Amino acid sequence: MTNENLNQHAQDILSRLDDQKKKAISAQEVAEELEKFLDYGVPVKQAKQTLLKKFGVNTSVPPGSVERTLLADLQPNTRNVKLVAQVVSINPKEIMVKGQPRTIFSGLLRDESGTLPFTAWDKPAMNEGDIVEIANAYTREWRGKVQLNFGNQVMIEQKEKDALPKETFEPKKVTINEITPLVGTVEMSAKVLSVEEKEIMVDEDKKTMFTGILGDSTGKIPFTAWEDFKLSKESTVHIKGGYVKSFRGMPQVNLDENAEVKKQKKQIKESDIPTRSLHLFELNNKQGMYDVSVSGRVIEIQQGSGIILRCPECNQVLREDGCRVHGKVDGIPDLRIKCVVDDGTGSVKTIMNKDQAERVIGKTMDECKQMNPEELHSLLNESLFARVVSMKGNSLQDFYGSTFLADTIEVVDEDVKSKVDHVRSLLEELE
């Protein structure tokens, strides 16, 4: 870049500073600061934005100069996004950033076009149920899906309910198989397969909640009720106004004071409620599923399999420097197997617990503890690698992809000789 162009950009930056800052810094100093960024390959626009922020200038785009975008129309890698939406849910989440715990906030927004999750690095000025106008948000792409993010430039303004059309708040009629975390508010009929009353602490107050499983002719799904709807096991209910959110990587139906729950005369038979049998690519296309069966071949035994140590306080796997939350602790031994299963249409990570691992490898955890790591790794490979497994359980999905938590897992005995003979006969027919 020529000195003339550099000075022009410096003057542009100076023109946006207040009088006090203009007196404190010269155009030459601004040009030198700008040149440092350019020498490191930073694009001119980004370098200027960075310097303006350094000098205390708000670089966000005024909300009035940007058109509103519907959630369904959002594209990845877009800045200065403006939305009008209702906050369906918002929850804190603990993550690790550079080895340090940090609280972020995630939740779900909806408008007349659908729903979309969001992530905020700081507590946004909004609560569940609020109608808000959001400006200066941005999007990214993760595993082919749009991610909506709130950074430090985001602006949030409270709006009245009529800022969104009426259809935004009308529940969608769905079956369980059609439910995803993005469906929003739902209307559905289902059988209560289980229900349990629990007491939890919310903001230092005791609160009663009810959890369980719902089922219909297309599958099963967990639910949480924050009100006492007098739900009873084996009853069939009609739900209107429940909303769907993802909990621990799996969609679930939530029932709050806005939901209507009524018992219905037409009963759903438990014998008509299936365990869904799926190909693995279907798991990857769904954002978590409850009670499904899959099968495939083990193509990898992953690092972290074998004997591990867990924190006695939180049960997390210990690292070399201890627990991420509780620091140095005396770990409790455990046995697990982490592997990748592939069925030709897709693949999924699978974690086997102690009981499952012992049954699959034919050794107890105490016996495994007596083996050196190389011997145990060989045993795991001999027992599982390239073998076909049949699994029933739950599929979870997070930022890292799909994980299958198996309630039951069986290694399928294969008659390899018969398969080889069958392939040979097919080849002979082709000759």
**Coil, strand, or helix at residue 36?**
helix
Judged against a pLDDT cut of 80, whether residue 199 lies above it is answered with: yes
Nearest by Cα to 251 from 209, 218, 220: 220
Predicted confidence at residue 60, as pLDDT, reads 57
Q: State the average pLDDT over residues 148-167.
A: 90
Give the pLDDT confidence of 255-286 residue by residue, as tens digits: 988 899 999 999 999 999 999 999 998 887 77
Predicted confidence at residue 55, as pLDDT, reads 76
* DSSP letter (8 states) at residue 302: P
Give the pLDDT confidence of 158-167 residue by residue, as tens digits: 999 889 988 8
pLDDT confidence bin for 424, thresholds 50/70/90: low
Residues 13 and 72 both lie in one domain: no
Contacts of 155 (CB under 8 A, 6+ apart): 60, 63, 134, 135, 136
Q: State the average pLDDT over residues 152-158.
A: 90
- What tokens appear for 328 in the block? 């140095």
Looking at 133, 166, 199, which one is the last position of a domain? 166
58: number of CA atoms within 13 Å, CB side? 9
**What CATH number corresponds to the domain at position 299?**
2.40.50.140
Give the pLDDT confidence of 374-399 residue by residue, as tens digits: 999 999 999 999 999 999 999 987 66
CA 199/CA 95 separation, integer angstroms: 26
How high is the mean pLDDT of the chain?
85
Judged against a pLDDT cut of 60, whether residue 412 lies above it is answered with: yes
Predicted confidence at residue 58, as pLDDT, reads 64
Predicted confidence at residue 228, as pLDDT, reads 93
Nearest by Cα to 248 from 23, 42, 89, 93: 93
Residues 209 and 258 both lie in one domain: yes
Residues 177 and 140 both lie in one domain: no
Residues 265 and 286 both lie in one domain: no
Q: Is residue 427 part of a domain?
A: no
Residues 267 and 282 both lie in one domain: no
**What are the contacts of 161-168 at 24+ separation with CB within 8 A?**
161/131, 163/84, 163/131, 163/133, 164/84, 164/85, 164/86, 164/111, 164/112, 164/131, 165/112, 167/112, 168/86, 168/110, 168/111, 168/112
Residues 403 and 282 both lie in one domain: yes
Q: Is residue 235 part of a domain?
A: yes
Predicted confidence at residue 203, as pLDDT, reads 64
Q: Is residue 426 part of a domain?
A: no
Which has more confidence, 70 or 23? 70
Residues 407 and 299 both lie in one domain: yes
Q: Is residue 429 part of a domain?
A: no
CA 69/CA 87 separation, integer angstroms: 16
How many domains is the chain partitioned into structurally?
4
CA 302/CA 341 separation, integer angstroms: 11
- What tokens appear for 58 in the block? 């708000």
Looking at 240, 272, 304, which one is the last position of a domain? 272
Q: State the average pLDDT over residues 309-336.
A: 88
Give the pLDDT confidence of 285-313 residue by residue, as tens digits: 777 889 999 999 999 999 999 999 999 98
Q: Is residue 428 part of a domain?
A: no
Residues 243 and 300 both lie in one domain: no
Predicted confidence at residue 414, as pLDDT, reads 73
The answer to whether 376 and 403 are in contact (CB under 8 A) is no
Give residue 8's domain range: 3-54
Residues 141 and 220 both lie in one domain: no
Percent of the chain at pLDDT exceeding 70: 89
Judged against a pLDDT cut of 80, whether residue 201 lies above it is answered with: no
Q: Is residue 425 part of a domain?
A: no
- 219 phi-psi bin (left φ>0, alpha ψ -120 to 50, beta other): left
Judged against a pLDDT cut of 90, whether residue 429 lies above it is answered with: no
Looking at 112, 141, 166, which one is the last position of a domain? 166
Residues 193 and 285 both lie in one domain: no
Q: Is residue 259 part of a domain?
A: yes
Residues 107 and 221 both lie in one domain: no
Residues 294 and 253 both lie in one domain: no
The answer to whether 285 and 278 are in contact (CB under 8 A) is no
Predicted confidence at residue 24, as pLDDT, reads 77
- Which runs of E-coded beta strand occur in 327-427? 332-342, 347-352, 388-398, 401-412
Nearest by Cα to 310 from 284, 289, 329: 329
Q: Is residue 363 part of a domain?
A: yes
